[in-house]
Structure 1
Amino acid sequence: MRPVIPEPEDPLIASFHAASGRRVPQAVTAIENHFSPDETIRFLRGLVASGHPQAATLLKARTLAEVLAARRVQPFRRTPITPDVSLYGADGSPEEKTLIVAFGGVGGRLGLPVANVLQALDAERVDLLMLRDPDKRGFAFGAGSFEPDLAGIVAALRARFPLRRYRRLVTLGFSMGAAPALKAGFWLDADRAIGIGTRRSNDDLMLVRRCAVGPAFDPFCECLRDRAHRGLLVHADHCARDVAAARRMEANGAGRRIVFRCMNDHNLVARFWMMGELRPFLDLLVNGRMTLDRRAGQKPLVIGRTWPPRLRAGLKRRLAMVRG
C-alpha cells in the first residue's frame, strides 16, 4: 500500500525539507513537538519511500522508531489552534472522556515527543490539549500568540473549549510547565492538577536583572487555603532541585507530593518510557484513586523502588490504598 504523506503545504513538513545543516535537527524537533502518531508514521514512511537522505538517520532515533513500529496506533487527530497550541482527539463524546490540558517544559513537550505521550494514552478515553511556551518563561507571557499571560490562558480555556462537557478535567505540566499546570488546575477547578518535576519560577532573578516579569497571582497562599485543590507534586527523591521546589509548593498548599524512591531523574516521563511503563505511570497519575484535598494535611505518598516486572502491580497497590 502506497504511504499517504502529510500535505506538502504543512509548514512543519516544508520547514524540514527547506532545512540544512544545524537547522535539520530543529525542524525534526518541531515535527516531534506537534505531530500525532499517525502523522509521524506517514511522515517517516514518506521519507523512506522517497529515498530521502535523512530517513535512515531519523529511523535510528528510538522515539521515532517506536511510533513507526507500534502494533496499535492511537488514532489521535491534531487540530492546530495556534502555532503553539494543539488539540489531539479522536471520535467519541466528551461526556465519556477526560480532557488533559498539558503545559510543556522548556523544550515544548511533556518530557517526550507528543506522539510518544499520545501512544501511552487511550484515544477512546482521553483528549489532549497541548500548550507550549516558545519564550521559555513559564507561560508568564502566554503560549506564543495564544493569550498574553497565564491568566489570559485560563480565561481563554474557559471561553473557547467545552471544558465542562468532559467527564473529567485534568491539568498536567512538566518541569517549567508544572507550576502553571498546578495554578491553572486551581483556577479551573480541575478534577486533578499534576506537576511532574516542578521547578520554581525565576521571577525574582528577572526583577534583579530589571527584566520584564509577567503579571501573576499565586493561588497557593494562606488566604486561599480554604479552597479545595486536587494537586499532585510528582518527583524523584534524589533530584535535589525538584525535591526543594515540591516541598516549598506543598507548604503553600499546591498539592500532595508523590515521591519515587531511589530515582534521581528530573524527567520521570522519559524514565518510565525507557522502562516500558509510561502508560501505567500516566494512568495512575491521571486516574489513580487518591485523596487530594490540600486541606487534609496528608503525608507524601512514597513509592518504593520497583522494576518493570513489578511496577504496574506495585503502583496500583500503593495508590489504591488511599481512597478518594
Structure 2
Amino acid sequence: MIEAYFQRVAGCRTLNQINAVHIAMTNVMTPMEALAVRDRLAGGSWMFPAENVGADGSASLTAMLATHMEKIVGDFVEAGKERAEVFQRVPVARDVWLFSRGGERSGKTLIIAFTGNADRLMMPTPTFMQHLDADAVDVLMLVDRSKEGYRRGLGGIAESIEGLILALPRLGEAQRYRRIVTAGTSGGGLPAVLAGLKLGVDAVMAVGCRSPHAGRWQDLPGVGLGGAELLVAWHGETAAKGISIVHGAQHAQDAAAAEEIAKLVPARVVPVSVTGVEVQHNALYPLVRAGRFSPFLREHLGV
C-alpha cells in the first residue's frame, strides 16, 4: 500500500487527480501505513515529480500531501495511544476488506461496517481504526461504489440488499467471533440497521441515516418491500440488541430520519453535540476532535 500510494500520486497531473488518489488510498489504509506515508513525506525522502509540475509545483504539492497526512496522524493523538494500532488489511471480495491483526478470533468482536457515499466512515479509515483495539476487534468494511446505498447488493456478492446481508456471516466468518456488531454511516446507516435486525447482532450504530420512507428505499430490488416495511418485518424475525441511531444535533434532516426509524423498531436516538461546534451530517469526526470518539464506540458498540 505504501509504495502504491506514492506510485499513484506520482502519476497525477492535476490537483483534483492528486486529491482523488489521496482520498481513495487513505480510505483503505491502516494506521501503520498512514504513519509510514507521513514519515516519508515529512522526512523529505520523497518529492512529487518535478517533471510533471515544475520545481515550485513539486515543492508545494509535496508540502500539501505532507499536511494532509500529518492531519490524519495528528488525529491519532485523540485516541490516547502511544503507538499505532497494528491492523492488516485483507481483501475478502471486491470492495470488501477485513482489517485484522490476525490470531484467534473467539474472544474478539467483529464490526460489519457499511461505509457511505464517501467510501469511509465519516473520517479517514486509519483514524477510525486507531480508535479500536486491534487485539479485541476486527472490522469487515464494505464499500458500495455504485452509490446505491447497498440497495442492489454489491457486485460479485449479491444483487439485493437481503442477499448481501445473508452473505455477510460467510464473508466475515462470523461464527469465529464472540460478538458481532454492525455500524454504518450516511448511505450505509440504514443498511447497518437492516443487517443488525436480519442477523440478530449484539449492537448497531447507524449514523446520519437516510429516511426509510424516501423514494429510493421503496420497492427494493429483489426484495419486493420498501425500507420501512423491511425494518418492521425483520424486527419481527430477530432480536438485535442495542440499536443506536446517531445524528448531528444541528442536522434537522438526519434527526427526522432517526425519529422515523425509531418509530418502526426499538432504537435509541442519539443526537451528537460538541461545545463550540455545529455538528451537521458528519456526526462522528467532531467526536474525534473532541477526544470523545473512543468512549462513544464503547457506549454504542461495546468495543
| Cα distance in structure 2, aligned partners of 1:16 and 1:202 | 41
Deviation, 1:120, is: 0.7
Secondary structure of the corresponding residue to residue 268 of structure 1: coil
Structure 1 counterpart of 2:53? none
Secondary structure of the corresponding residue to residue 89 of structure 2: strand
Matched-pair identity in %: 27
| Cα distance in structure 1, aligned partners of 2:161 and 2:295 | 30
Structure with more relative contact order (C-alpha pairs < 8 Å, separation 6 or more)? 2
Secondary structure of the corresponding residue to residue 51 of structure 1: coil
Match of 1:178 among 189, 193, 213: 189
Deviation, 1:42, is: 2.3
Structure 1: 4+ residue segments shifted above 4 A: 67-70
Letter of the 2:22 counterpart:
V
Offset from partner CA, 1:147-199 (integer Å, 9 cap, x none): 32322222221223320221110000011111000101111111111111211
Deviation, 1:121, is: 0.7
Structure 2 counterpart of 1:257? 269
Secondary structure of the corresponding residue to residue 193 of structure 1: strand
Deviation, 1:260, is: 3.5
Secondary structure of the corresponding residue to residue 221 of structure 1: helix
Correspondence list, 1:97-246, <5 A: 97-200=108-211, 204=215, 214-216=221-223, 217=225, 218=227, 219-221=230-232, 224-225=235-236, 227-230=238-241, 231-246=243-258
Cα distance 1:264–1:51, how it changes in 2: closer, same or farther (>3 A)? closer
| Cα distance in structure 2, aligned partners of 1:223 and 1:170 | 16
Residue 47 (structure 2) pairs with residue 51 (structure 1): yes
Residue 77 (structure 2) pairs with residue 66 (structure 1): no
Contact 2:109 2:181 in 1 (8 A): yes
Normalising to structure 1: TM-score of the pair? 0.76
Match of 1:274 among 289, 297, 300: 289
Deviation, 1:246, is: 0.8
| Cα distance in structure 2, aligned partners of 1:149 and 1:45 | 43
Deviation, 1:63, is: 3.6
Structure 2 counterpart of 1:23? 17
Structure 1 counterpart of 2:29? 35
Cα distance 1:16–1:149, how it changes in 2: closer, same or farther (>3 A)? farther
RMSD over aligned CA atoms reads 2.7
Cα distance 1:60–1:257, how it changes in 2: closer, same or farther (>3 A)? same
Moved more, 140-149 or 268-277: 140-149
| Cα distance in structure 1, aligned partners of 2:23 and 2:156 | 20
Normalising to structure 2: TM-score of the pair? 0.81
Secondary structure of the corresponding residue to residue 198 of structure 1: coil
Offset from partner CA, 1:11-52 (integer Å, 9 cap, x none): x55432222202110000111111111122223334441233
| Cα distance in structure 2, aligned partners of 1:101 and 1:177 | 11
| Cα distance in structure 2, aligned partners of 1:32 and 1:56 | 17
Unmatched segments (≥5 aa) in structure 1: 289-324
Contact 2:40 2:46 in 1 (8 A): yes
Contact 1:32 1:115 in 2 (8 A): yes
Q: How many residues align?
A: 277
Letter of the 1:64 counterpart:
I
Moved more, 161-170 or 175-184: 161-170
Secondary structure of the corresponding residue to residue 86 of structure 1: strand
Cα distance 1:38–1:224, how it changes in 2: closer, same or farther (>3 A)? closer
Deviation, 1:239, is: 1.7
Deviation, 1:226, is: 6.8
